[in-house]
Amino acid sequence: MHVMSSEKSFQYLKKFWKLEMVASSLYDFLAKRTTKKRKRGIEKIAKMERGHANVWNNISQKGFDYSFQPNITLKIRILIMKFISFLFPKTIFIHYMELGERNAIIEYTKIREAFREDKKALEMIENIIRDEVRHEWEMMELVADKSGYIRKAKEAVHGLIAGILETIAVLVGFIAADLDILFVGLATLIATITGLITILTISYLSVKSEYDIHVGEIATIEAKHGIEPRALRTDLEHLLVDHGIAFEMAQEVVEVIGDDPDVLRNLVRTMKLLEVGHITPREALITTGLFFLLGTLPTVIPFFIYAFLGYENLLYPAIIATVLAVIVIAVAGVYKGVLSNKRPIFEILKFLGVMIGTSAITYLIGFLARLVLGTGILH
């Protein structure tokens, strides 16, 4: 079996310590926004996460003679995440924390092998894994009746991004072709409507297929939960292997987690990304379509306004459209990051990269059209 290097082990400890420090601060912040009924439970989780951070620090001190200390980068990261959490509905941010607990379970299993010979450290790591399992369950319970809302939010982000990326790419192509400003607006609007029909068709068929599979998967998990709970242990082992955990280690981690049928059902369901309240194809159609238009119209409208005011210069509406597109992508990237428990800045950069790439292609096509076909004479 592969044994983790000392340097890699140290980096994992440092990473886990940072994750726990961020998590404890966010749980404290979340507790302040929660009703009294749930506040005590979240504060308890925050306290346990600080304890976990101390455990990772103690292991580092013992094994590597190094003590982690909060630096300015970590403090800024915590402040940014607190600010982001304040901007989001509480349900969505609780979902973000729940995904974080699930990812922590997977990540923490990767370091067990490195400390197999240190019984005390191994026991502490296993206790942390058990705690994270409980935390993941508690977070899921907080949003158990809101999963349909969370899924709608995901569909909304997808529609918003699809709308803005398609519209900007089309606009850039027509601008490069040096067409009349009103023609650019009308042609982009027509292309957008065509794109809307296409994405609605794809969304409906995709969600319909997902919905059917989802219902079957949930039914299977519930059947195993009620009839043969141990089958869920096998499912969990295979899911851990799919996430990059060695099979022998996956078996050991499942032993650590235990035989509680409810806990096993919860972990299998969340690792398969199965929400209890899945949205229907009709709901997905409405949500995707609405937010596709919200991502599209703000970038097209400036061209109509300038055309009706008698301006022919494409530069100013193009600048306005670009600024609006960047703002929409930034908002969508933050939401996408929170909904998927990923760094929002990476999601924003990814979407901006796609926008630049597609725009470059359509610009080249428009430029060639003007050069070869002389489309500029329409101006």
Query: Which two tokens mark 126?
Result: 């296993």
Exposure string over 155-192, b if 16+ CB within 10 A, otherwise e: bbbbbbbbbbbbbbbbbbbbbbbbbebeebbbbbbebb
133 shares its domain with 178: no
Q: Within this chain, do residues 85 and 198 fall inside the same structural domain, yes or no?
A: no
Whether residues 92 and 196 fall in one domain: no
**Does any domain span residue 270?**
yes
Instruction: Give the CATH number of the domain where residue 76 resides.
Output: 1.20.1260.10
The alpha carbons of the chain give a radius of gyration, in whole angstroms, of 25
Do 104 and 196 share a domain, yes or no? no
Residue 203 within a domain: yes
The answer to whether the Cα torsion of 45, 47, 48, 52 is positive or negative is: positive
Domains of the chain: total: 2
- Cβ 187 vs Cβ 195: under 8 Å: no
- Can you give the pLDDT at residue 1? 40
**Domain containing residue 312:** 147-378
Contact between residue 27 and residue 59 where contact means Cβ atoms under 8 Å apart: no
Same domain, 332 and 225: yes
What is the model's pTM? 0.66
CA terminus-to-terminus distance, the chain: 69
**Does 53 lie in the same domain as 31?**
yes
Cα–Cα distance for residue pair 229/226, rounded to 1 Å: 7
Q: Are residues 130 and 163 in the same domain?
A: no
Q: Is residue 1 part of a domain?
A: no
What pLDDT is stored for residue 2 in this prediction? Answer: 41
pLDDT at 3: 43
DSSP helix/strand/coil, 240:
helix
Instruction: Quote the tokens at residue 146.
Output: 């809101």
Each residue's pLDDT expressed in tens, for the chain with a length of 379 residues? 444 457 788 888 898 899 889 889 988 888 887 777 778 878 888 888 888 888 889 888 888 888 999 899 999 989 988 888 887 777 777 777 777 777 777 777 777 767 777 778 888 888 887 777 766 666 666 655 566 677 788 888 888 998 898 899 889 988 888 888 888 888 888 888 888 888 888 877 777 766 666 666 777 777 777 777 778 888 877 877 776 666 776 777 777 777 778 777 777 776 665 454 566 778 888 888 899 988 888 889 999 998 888 888 888 898 999 999 999 999 888 888 887 778 888 889 999 999 999 999 999 998 888 888 776 544 4
Nearest to 55 by CA among 17, 1, 96: 17
Shared-domain flag, residues 138 and 151: no
Domain finish residue from 142, 169, 193: 142
Q: What is residue 139's predicted lDDT score, i.e. its pLDDT?
A: 66
Report yes or no: 168 and 292 within 8 Å, Cβ to Cβ. no
* Confidence (pLDDT) at 379: 46
Residues in the chain: 379
